Amino acid sequence: MAVKRIYMDNNATTPLHPEVKKAMVEGMEIFGNPSSLHTFGRHARQFVEEARQKVASFLGASPKEIMFTGSGSEANNTVLSIITCSSKHCGSNLVKGDTIITTTIEHPCILETTKCLKEKGVNVQYLEVDQHGKISLDRLKDLVTERTSMVSVMMANNEIGTFQDIKTIAEIVHSKGALFHTDAVQAVGKVPVNVENLNVDFLTLSGHKIYGPKGIAALYVKKGVPFCPLIRGGHQEKGRRAGTENTLGIIGLGKAIEMRSQEMETEEKRLLELKTMLKEGIAAKIPDVRFIGHPTDSLAGTLNVSFDGAEGEAIILYLDLEGIAVSTGSACASGSLDPSHVILATGAPVECAHGSIRISLGRENTMEEVEYLLDVLPRVIAKIREMSTVYVRRAS
């Protein structure tokens, strides 16, 4: 009999919500170009705008402030690139200053972009985080000056789940007249996010992290803030992103958001209970473990844990043999054997960064599955430690 497959890697991507799948199957009939004036086009346009409306109202934004992009990565690249735009067509040479501030624990699509901006002469400053993955607001106050053009701080971290205090951060940033962006890909649909209340200028979300399709995301651009397109061409998305709209993806994203607005609250409560059970179970059954991330102010379904003397990659493979899918660090970093930049940023030792796994729970996970993991994991860790040349039991 085939092993039952248990998926606990929901921060990497999520399975489609059945309602999203249904909406998309129906949406496949819609082939008109939303920019066309005839009935086919207007029909497609209607679906695109309905989805935009759903995203906007979920975030407390106006539909005009929502643009669709091809991924969360693209949305983040778009925002950061605004500050190097000097085209008078965009008016973004209004952006003052020459400095970008971000954190050391951002997603690679931010960190690789700031690296590139640095090579182009932009001054980039990185905020470090404490052992729980939080930035220091005092340090931020010191760093932000009149020369700061933009600050980008993620709302919730994909590897360790830690939240940042986005509202306060936005206030500090705005007090010096800089623009503020938050990568909220892991937060939207899991906690209430209201752009007006948070007072952010840009916010990124992505479909496939919230039971929607891959290759579709949205960027909130506050009315009146400078903007410069990354992709130029036709007038789609009010000239902010050229290219015929991914109608089907947009329909899926709209539905995913609609489902989150119905299910988020009860679902996240349930995930927190499952995570607590998992965390307590691991602590009780396995010696020499270390939980990484903020103990309370973190994503309900995310648990990052390291086991002394056990390589993350080995744990993943052994668990996979038992039918359980979890991950090391982020999906984008795995595949390389470099230790996670996020775990290292928390000050954890290198061995710890090598040995940590991320268990990210989602709407399809059950208590039975958590029990099964708690049954399998102690055996797997013991087996790996037996083979380890470095594991020595901590004195207790």
Q: Output the CA angle 153-135-78, nearest 5 degrees.
A: 10
Task: Tell me which stretch binds ligand PLP (CB under 6 A): 40-48, 137-145, 182-190, 287-295.
Answer: 182-190
Q: Which strand ranges, in their side-by-side order, compose the sheet holding 289-292?
A: 289-292, 302-307, 356-360
The least distance separating ligand PLP from the CB of residue 243, rounded to whole angstroms, comes to 16
Query: Which position among 114, 182, 186, 236 is part of the footprint of ligand PLP (CB under 6 A)?
Result: 186
Are the beta carbons of 59 and 257 closer than 8 angstroms? no
209 binds ligand PLP (CB under 6 A): yes
- The tokens describing 344, both together, are 């290292």
For the chain, state the CA radius of gyration: 22
Are the beta carbons of 112 and 80 closer than 8 angstroms? no
Q: How far is CA 164 from the centre of its chain?
A: 13
Distance of alpha carbon 253 from alpha carbon 70, whole angstroms: 11
Distance of alpha carbon 301 from alpha carbon 10, whole angstroms: 9
Site string for ligand PLP, 87-126 (x = CB under 6 A): --------------------x-x-----------------
Task: Tell me which stretch binds ligand PLP (CB under 6 A): 68-76, 118-126, 163-171, 188-196.
Answer: 68-76
Q: Which is nearer to ligand PLP, 75 or 384 (CB)?
A: 75
Q: Which of 90, 116, 228, 332 is catalytic?
A: 332
73 binds ligand PLP (CB under 6 A): yes
The least distance separating ligand PLP from the CB of residue 183, rounded to whole angstroms, comes to 5
217 binds ligand PLP (CB under 6 A): yes
Q: How many residues bind ligand PLP (CB under 6 A)?
A: 13
Q: What is the DSSP letter of 232?
A: -
Q: Which is nearer to ligand PLP, 10 or 148 (CB)?
A: 10
Distance of alpha carbon 65 from alpha carbon 220, whole angstroms: 6
Q: Which is nearer to ligand PLP, 97 or 293 (CB)?
A: 293
Q: Which strand ranges, in their side-by-side order, compose the sheet holding 99-103?
A: 66-69, 217-221, 202-206, 179-183, 148-152, 99-103, 123-127
Q: Which is nearer to ligand PLP, 186 or 328 (CB)?
A: 186
Q: Which is nearer to ligand PLP, 236 or 302 (CB)?
A: 302
Task: Tell me which stretch binds ligand PLP (CB under 6 A): 166-174, 178-186, 293-301, 353-361.
Answer: 178-186
Task: Tell me which stretch binds ligand PLP (CB under 6 A): 45-53, 71-79, 252-260, 345-353.
Answer: 71-79
183 binds ligand PLP (CB under 6 A): yes
Closest CA to 135 of 166, 98, 114, 174: 166
154 binds ligand PLP (CB under 6 A): yes
Q: How many other C-beta atoms lie within 10 A of the C-beta of residue 183?
A: 29
Distance of alpha carbon 164 from alpha carbon 193, whole angstroms: 13
Phi and psi at residue 22, in whole multiples of 5°? Answer: -60, -45
Q: Which is nearer to ligand PLP, 43 or 214 (CB)?
A: 214
Task: Tell me which stretch binds ligand PLP (CB under 6 A): 49-57, 70-78, 188-196, 233-241.
Answer: 70-78
The least distance separating ligand PLP from the CB of residue 11, rounded to whole angstroms, comes to 6
Active site residue 332: yes
158 binds ligand PLP (CB under 6 A): yes
Place of tokens 């590139």: 116
- CB within 8 A of 73, min separation 6: which ones? 107, 109
- Which residues form the catalytic set? 332
Q: Which residues bind ligand PLP (CB under 6 A)?
A: 71-73, 107, 109, 154, 158, 183, 185-186, 206, 209, 217
